[in-house]
Amino acid sequence: MNGLPQNLEAEQHVIGSILSQNACFDRVSSFLTADDFLEPVHRHLFKVIGDMIGAGQVANPVTMKGAVSDDLQVGELSGMRYVVRLFAEFPMPYAIVDLASAVKDAAVRRGLVLAAERIHEWASLSQPGAKTEELIAECEKQFAEAIGKGRPADEGDAAARAIEEVSLAHQRQKSEAVPWFIGEAQQVLGDDLEFGWLVGLLADSGGGKTSFALQQAYHAMEAGYPVLFLSGDQKPEEVYKQIASQRASVQSNDLRKGRASDNEVGSVITVLNSMRGKPFEVRKMGRPTTAEISMWVRAFNRKHGRGLIIIDHAKRISFTDRRTMLAEGVNQVYGDLKALMQETENAGILLMQRNSDGQGRDNPRPVRGDAYGGAGALENLDGLIALYVEEQWIDHMLSNARTGARKDEIEARREHVKGKAELVGLKARFAEGGVRKIIKREARFTRFASLTDDWREQGSML
């Protein structure tokens, strides 16, 4: 065990504190186990104490005399003499939770070190023909098990915590959540982005889901929430440029091709300078598994605290087992991401590219079955919003129209839907399903805006 993370003094203080005040055991037993102690004697004592307290007995040096063998040696001390020493010299009941957390932290870090050693040994000894995906799956399993041991169980009175949450929400007159940049999104979802939620944003290819998400990212930053944007297509500098062009009302093509005026370039640079130093991170993610996403999110939280996580997009995420059927694999991905948002207390937006099912329908407006994985894979989402741009569908609808009357009807809609988009609530926890709201679409600047004047002063641009 030499060289492994350890905190033997904290282990002694935990045992001594519980011997001094048995009530300390109830404060830590929800997250601390005997296996978390490195010293074998401490593991044994913690188990004996737990068994006695669980049986309604008092655990102290007097009552434990028959439960601890004198054959148990700690240095020059017999088992019972060591128990007396812990009772007399190490009680710190006022700090029991912190001490137990230190023991747990050392145990988790030991688990990670041992997992890494097992992975190194297994990867080194694997035959050249071994499947890479099996190796990756084993790595994820080992680390997931090590990390899982560090997840604290809920402590205390759930009713008391619920009372506290209700009282705080009443004081703020709203739930604690990341606000939407546009009022219509809040209306179709029924609430802002609460921490622990995973909300899907569904749109056609080229329908503006990334643009919409980047406006949301900037608004969250402005509201004081850190943002992690995981991009499947764009490099970090491209993401920054798109946000700046949205804010400065400059066409991104003009920026890219050097056609922007001096004033436009100056406005973009002003926005970019304002973003420097803000808690905003962009990572180009390739085709990660949910385990990789988990590592990035946890690293982000350690640096910035909880905030908004945007993943662009769902089809970029690889299944741990590539032999898994689509619906089953997608459901597992959504479940893993939902659990990650809950454990890390982040608000999550998962972008989804709509499938082609709508092309065969007379009415191409999105339905739940158009989502990646189908309607059956959405059980782990707290909400699903569709961003629908009918203007993009006009020509396709015309090509499928069978009668002149139908073509006339579609042509009549062209002017009506120009410069507009719809937000559709396909799944919402606190709103009626199917709510639709019209919003403004500004294609030149790849951005959207509210049609409701001055709603939270959102939709305004530089």
pLDDT over 70 (residue 446): yes
Confidence at 222, pLDDT banded by 50, 70, 90: very high
Task: Measure the N-to-C terminal CA separation of the chain; round to a whole number of Å.
Answer: 60
Contact (Cβ atoms closer than 8 angstroms) between residue 112 and residue 146: yes
**Region 65-89: what's the mean pLDDT?**
78
How far is CA 345 from its chain centroid? 7
Percent of the chain residues past pLDDT 70, beyond the cut: 82
What pLDDT score does 176 carry?
76
What pLDDT score does 459 carry?
39
pLDDT over 50 (residue 363): yes
Phi and psi at 438, nearest 5°, equal: -90, 135
What pLDDT score does 393 carry?
83
**pLDDT averaged over the chain?**
83
**Region 389-397: what's the mean pLDDT?**
83
Confidence at 331, pLDDT banded by 50, 70, 90: confident
Give me the torsion for CA of 240, 315, 378, 294, rounded to 10°.
Answer: -60
The residue ranking higher by pLDDT, 64 or 361, is 64
To 5 degrees, how large is the angle CA 67–CA 71–CA 77?
100
pLDDT over 70 (residue 27): yes
pLDDT over 70 (residue 168): no
**Residue 70, token pair as written in the block:** 């004198």
The residue ranking higher by pLDDT, 128 or 273, is 273
**Residue 445, token pair as written in the block:** 């600047």
**Region 362-385: what's the mean pLDDT?**
86
Confidence at 274, pLDDT banded by 50, 70, 90: very high
Percent of the chain residues past pLDDT 90, beyond the cut: 35
Domains and CATH numbers, the chain: 8-148 (1.10.860.10), 176-457 (3.40.50.300)
Gyration radius of the chain's alpha carbons? 28
